[in-house]
A and B are shown apart, each in its own frame.
Chain A
Amino acid sequence: MNEFLITFRSMTQAQSGQRALQSKAISAVLQRTPKSVAVQGCGYSLSVGTQQQLLYAVQELRARGILYSKVYRKTDRGALEEVVI
């Protein structure tokens, strides 16, 4: 099963992102960013379930000027790989 994480620098930015995606019926779960990729320390992420959702999500965030940091794919073994879109 695929899982993608869109990371944000702050809770508020992640919440704004979540609201934007909700308004487009894109389901995104707000969660803490795993420490392994939270290079600057604590952060929050939005998790989406499919690659299609991820593409819609990133498009929507960019369209609204909501700043996210990076995008990751969670591998079957739980590791995180950066995805460049």
Chain B
Amino acid sequence: MIYFDSAATTFRKPHAVGQAMLRSMERCASPGRGGYRAAMEAAETVYACREQCAGLFDCAPEQVVFTFNATHGLNLAIKSMVGPGDRVVVSGFEHNAVMRPLTALGADVVIAGRTLFDPADTLENFQRALERPARAVVCTHVSNVFGYALPLAQIAMLCRERQVPLIVDASQSAGVLPLSLRRLQAAFIAMPGHKSLYGPQGTGVLLCGVMPKKTVLEGGTGSVSRELSMPEFLPDRLEAGTSNVTGIAGLGAGLQFVASQRPERLAAGESRLCRLLADGLAQMDGVRVFRGGNQVGVLSFQAAGMDCEEVARRLAAHDIAVRAGLQCAPCAHESAGTLEDGTIRVSFSAFSAEAEVRQFIQVMREINTTIKKETPH
């Protein structure tokens, strides 16, 4: 199989990930719930992963909260500070993991910057939107549909100047772009463990720059048990219930892989494949490619005359995995004018190869030729 759906989840993982998970299942009980060997080994496994996250994302281990995915982390972050009617500024490229919680809360959502691959326009629109007070800014680092890397450092600076808390959705950037909680001074940064951190599904991380005022989930933490409210310290405040130790063990191995490969090297490799694919697709008649200078590891395209899901189906028949449709991001599609037709999204990982891209181009050329023959004049 040629797997080009890494923006959803990286399917191929380093071998060490599975090994770490198996070892954890054989040796680890519940962390922070006992002083016996298996409980302490679980605690060590979890803390070692916190340390790795802290090292990669420039924060303290206590600021690392384990979640089940980025959506979980974003919900914890958003619901800790946003209430009904609060004015919240978001980019024009947000995923439903951001838009749905804000809608459920009844927030007054202001969309800033809808022009694809135009950081100056994005920044200008954030500046304008922040001329009025806002409860928070929630912003994706990289669009999950188009791979557009937003000017996050400058948006973070705007937020600091105006003292507006910033929540970052780093779903597509964690592990491939530099990300520092300390430098951004963000309130929260949410990320999945199962994408470019190469952990298993069911893992995620929320980096906390502030102490969350409100909690979403309450329960046992193995600490200050006589208190019937959640602890006022991290990570316990946001980690109710038994941890996903097996998943965290795998995530730890994934993080080791990322650190050994270096994120900037991984990003360069994915960008190279992205350009190669974009060049190949752009030569095909009727194929519209969404590409730009600030693109990271994700590329969308449309084939005139054929439903995007039909293209994905035909690619799947050649054992090529891509994601078609709206990719859970109607906001991004509305910005790009692709809400009605959707796109075919191709996304890479450290395990994607140039030969796979070349084969993809060849198969897509055949599909496109067929489309032209099938389309009535």
- Chain A interface (Cβ < 8 Å from any Cβ of B): 9-13, 15-16, 19, 30-32, 39-44, 67
Query: Which of the segments B32-40, B191-199, B314-322, B346-354 contacts the partner chain?
Result: B32-40
Please name 4 further chain A to chain B contacts, defined as beta carbons within 8 Å, in addition to the given A12-B50, A67-B233, sorted by A numbering.
A9-B224, A15-B44, A41-B227, A42-B225
Most B CB atoms within 10 A — which of A9, A15, A32? A15
Find residues 43-57 in chain B having any chain A CB closer than 8 Å to their own CB. 43-44, 47, 50-51
B residues near A67, Cβ cutoff 8 Å: 233
Are A13 and B62 in contact, with the CB atoms below 8 A? yes
> Interface size class for chain B?
20 to 34
In the complex formed, the residue of A with least CB distance to B223 is A10
**Contact: A32 with B35, CB < 8 Å?**
yes
- Interchain CA distance A67-B232 in the complex, whole Å: 13
Q: Contact between A10 and B34 (Cβ–Cβ < 8 Å)? A: no
Residues of B within 8 A of A42 (CB): 32, 222-225
Using CB atoms, name the residue of chain B closest to A15.
Answer: B47
A30 and B61 CA atoms in complex are apart in Å by: 17
Contacts of A32 in B (CB 8 A): 34-35
User: Given A15-B43, A40-B224, A40-B225, A10–B236 Cβ distance below 8 Å?
Assistant: yes
Per-residue A-contact encoding for B11-45, CB less than 8 Å = 1, 0 else: 00000000000000000000110110000100110
> Any chain A CB within 8 A of the CB of B147?
no
Query: Which residues from A are CB-within-8-Å of B231?
Result: 9-10
Tell yes or no: B226 within 8 A of A by CB: yes
**Interchain nearest-CB distance for B225 vs A (Å):** 3
Q: How far is the CA of A30 from the CA of B40 in the complex (A)?
A: 9
CB under 8 Å from chain A, chain B span 320-347 = none
Q: How far is the CA of A43 from the CA of B236 in the complex (A)?
A: 12
How far is A30 from B32 in the complex, measured between Cα atoms in Å? Answer: 11
Query: Is B200 in the interface zone, CB < 8 Å from A?
Result: no
Question: What is the minimal beta-carbon distance from A27 to any residue of chain B, in angstroms?
Answer: 16
Report yes or no: A12 in contact with B224, Cβ–Cβ below 8 A: no
CB–CB B226/A12 < 8 A: no
B residues in contact with A44, CB < 8 Å:
32
Residues of B within 8 A of A31 (CB): 35
Interchain CB contact under 8 A, B61 and A12: yes
In the complex formed, the residue of B with least CB distance to A31 is B35
A16-B235 Cα distance, complex, nearest whole Å: 12
CA distance A15 to B64 in the complex (A): 14
Shortest Cβ distance from B209 into chain A, in angstroms? 16
Given the complex, which residues of B lie within 8 Å of A30, measured CB to CB? 40, 43
Known contacts A30-B40, A31-B35, A32-B34; is-contact A12 B227 (Cβ 8 Å): no
Query: Contacts of B224 on A, CB cut-off 8 Å?
Result: 9-10, 40-43
A10 CA / B220 CA spacing, docked (Å): 12
The 3 closest A-B pairs by CB, nearest first: A41-B225, A11-B32, A32-B35
B222 proximity list for chain A (CB < 8 A):
10-11, 42
CB distance from B365 to the nearest CB of A (A): 54
Alpha-carbon distance A39/B225, docked complex (angstroms) = 9
Would you give the 0/1 interface string for B227-240, flagging 1 where the beta carbon is closer than 8 Å to chain A? 10001011110000
Of B34, B62, B226, which is within 8 A of A16 by CB?
Answer: B62
Name the B residues within 8 Å of A40 (CB-CB): 224-227
